[in-house]
Structure 1
Amino acid sequence: MSFPIRHRLEYWSARVLAALVRLLPLRLGWALGAILGQLAFSIVRVRRRVTMENLHHAFSESRSHRELTKIGARCYRNLGRGLVEFCRFPSLTRRNLSRILEIEGLEHCTRGLAQGKGVIILSGHFGAWELLSPAFGLLVSRHRRQVGIAIHRIGHTPWGVVRSLRRNRLVIILADQDGGRDGIFIPFLGRLASTARGAARFAMETGATVLMSFVVRQPGNRHRLIIHPAMEIPRSCNREEDLFEILKTYTQCLETYVRIYPEQWFWPHRRWKSRPPADDPAAPT
């Protein structure tokens, strides 16, 4: 299979940029990422418009346009820092990761893995989300002898997720993107947002432990990985209501983080793109 020359140039340009970023001291790389993010906020007008529309819908009653613009700019600077962190993954070691990462709630992960049915990590495009995989990889390597598992980042195949959970592995799901017409509409930041059913279905059908977890950016380019206690999975006679309750619990948790740290969520995404049919209920009653 051949690729257009433009795609090859983009690919190799990205590879070269990533290699150059890895050569920089970490603090200098973060500063460069923040500058690139600020430039993107100023130049990429389409995504800036989406960002500002989303922010106004979520916070217009409590924040001025000027405040929201500052939040949008900080969001992009954080995205730039995240890009630098992603580029540095190949050179990331347990030692330098533990220097910038504080972990809270590790016992919930250990307890879940001890059940032997795998653990679903429900998270979102929040904070330093790209650090989720290496962070949990660090946790796994620390406790490999006790629980005998390995980290697995999910792809797009449901069977791959199920197989990983059956092998008592960690599966990370970022569940905060638009779920399309087939999603379940959950209240999020004052509007109904279509949310994909997959994470809730895996939780109900596999018996895996479900933990909500987020990596919060801290001052000084440090991070705090917060792991919440295991979610209670409802098992009533109404499957659709159970799916709704699982996704509502997750969405409410995410919203709490977004309201506290609004600059750390991925506002350029069209989260509310899909709309519920006017003649259908938004959720089970």
Structure 2
Amino acid sequence: MRPPYSYIARTAPKLGFKGTKRLACVLGGCMWHLVGSRRRLAVNAIEHHLNVSRVKAEEIAKASFIHNFRSFLELVLVGRIDEDFCRNTIKEGRPGVIEQIASIKGPVVAATAHLGAWEILAGMLGSLIASKQRDALVVVRRNKNEGLHELICHFRGSQGARVVDHRKAVFTVLKALKREGLAAFLVDHNCPRNEAIFLPFLNDIAAVNMGPAVLAVKANATVVPVFLIRDELGGYVFHVDTPLTPDQLQGSRDDKIRQVAEFYTGAVEKYVRDYPEQWFWMHKRWKTRPEGAEASRSHDRQ
């Protein structure tokens, strides 16, 4: 008997890029009008953390709803993101960045965010890295719904990247990194206090997941911020920031972990400020607070 997600796995990709874009406009618009709690959460967060007017915050938030739905739906298209698609369709933020990410020597930790076309990015990393006979891992949080989790893993891994549950990732990721592989992490989500380093992020203090930093330091990996941003024409632009190499880190192990976490958090903040309408504002990013600290103003409103 076929698994319960098999029908979706076979039929959803037929939507294509135009179909997912149209459906995202419909679903994003519906959620904007119907789910007032998420609308208010996003608008309040933008107004406070970007220090913009209420009108501007609403404009950014509404655009982000549509961008976010498009990102979720693009999950079904990961299988189409082969090496030819990457080199012929995706633009480079600066010349040579696609070759740069594919040719970095040694272990690599790629840090990205729920920004732009993050699901398409999973396909890129799979096709560019796995095609060169290197391990390519995408570390994700496990969905509570087993069927949905299987579906997500099916699509995210359809270009050769291996999807790893973040709670079971340590041994698997370290093994891959020691073989000079690449492990990609979404580093912008809220996390429990016992997994966090508290760092400045968008005019507030946020709980930053230190897991990717711990693994990078342990494996002596190069840390590379990578983002796939949509352009005004509906295409994609691949950005790779200047990497952080192990020899740039100083001090104790804890000092190095903090430096890595500060590095990827700073990169995410820069891109969120540049492309605020493409970030996942409806997420309760500042929910976890330092022990004894007052809730942020945005959290009070959530």
> Shared fold by TM > 0.5?
yes
Contact 1:109 1:119 (C-alpha < 8 Å) held by counterparts: no
Query: 1:140, CA displacement in angstroms?
Result: 2.2
Tell me the alpha carbon deviations over residues 165-200 of structure 1, each in whole angstroms, 9 at most, x when there is no partner. Answer: 122211001111113212111100000001111111
> Does the aligned pair in 1 maintain the 2:115–2:227 contact within 8 Å?
yes
Extract unaligned runs of 5+ from structure 2: 140-163, 294-302
Answer whether contact 1:127 1:215 (CA < 8 A) is retained: yes
Q: How far 1:76 moved relative to its partner?
A: 0.8
Q: Could you say what the CA RMSD is over the residues aligned between the two structures, in angstroms?
A: 2.4
**Distance in structure 2 (CA, Å) of the matches to 1:18 and 1:45:** 31
Aligned mates of 1:253, 1:236 — CA distance in 2 = 19
Q: 1:98 to 1:31 in 2, by over 3 A?
A: farther
State how 1:208-227 maps to structure 2 within 5 Å.
Answer: 208-227=221-240
Aligned equivalents of 1:23, 1:161: Cα separation in 2? 33
Structure 1: gaps of 5 or more residues: 1-10, 280-285
SS in 2 for 1:149: coil
* Identical pairs, percent: 25
- How far has the Cα of 1:242 moved from its partner? 2.5
Structure of larger gyration radius: 1
Counterparts in 2 of 1:87 and 1:29: CA distance versus 1, 3 Å = same
Could you say which residue in structure 1 is the equivalent of 2:134? 149
CA separation of 1:217/1:244 partners in 2, compared to 1, >3 Å: closer, same or farther?
same
Q: Distance in 2 between matches of 1:56 and 1:20?
A: 40
Tell me, yes or no, if the aligned pair for 2:272 and 2:278 is still in contact at 8 Å. Answer: yes
State the Cα distance separating 1:107 from its structure 2 match.
4.5
1:81/1:235 Cα in 2 relative to 1: closer, same or farther (>3 Å)? Answer: closer
Structure 2 residue 205 is matched with structure 1 residue 192 = yes
Q: Which residue in the other structure is 1:140 paired with? A: 129
**8 A Cα contact 1:180 1:195, kept in partner:** no
Aligned with residue 120 of structure 1, among 100, 105, 109: 109
Q: CA deviation at 1:248?
A: 1.3
Aligned length: 259
Q: Could you say which residue in structure 2 is the equivalent of 1:249?
A: 263
Letter in 1 for 2:200: P
Q: Once structures 1 and 2 are overlaid, which stretch shifts more, 215-224 or 43-52?
A: 43-52
Residues 225 and 193 of structure 1: CA distance in aligned 2, closer, same or farther (over 3 Å): same
Change beyond 3 A, Cα 1:65–1:19: farther
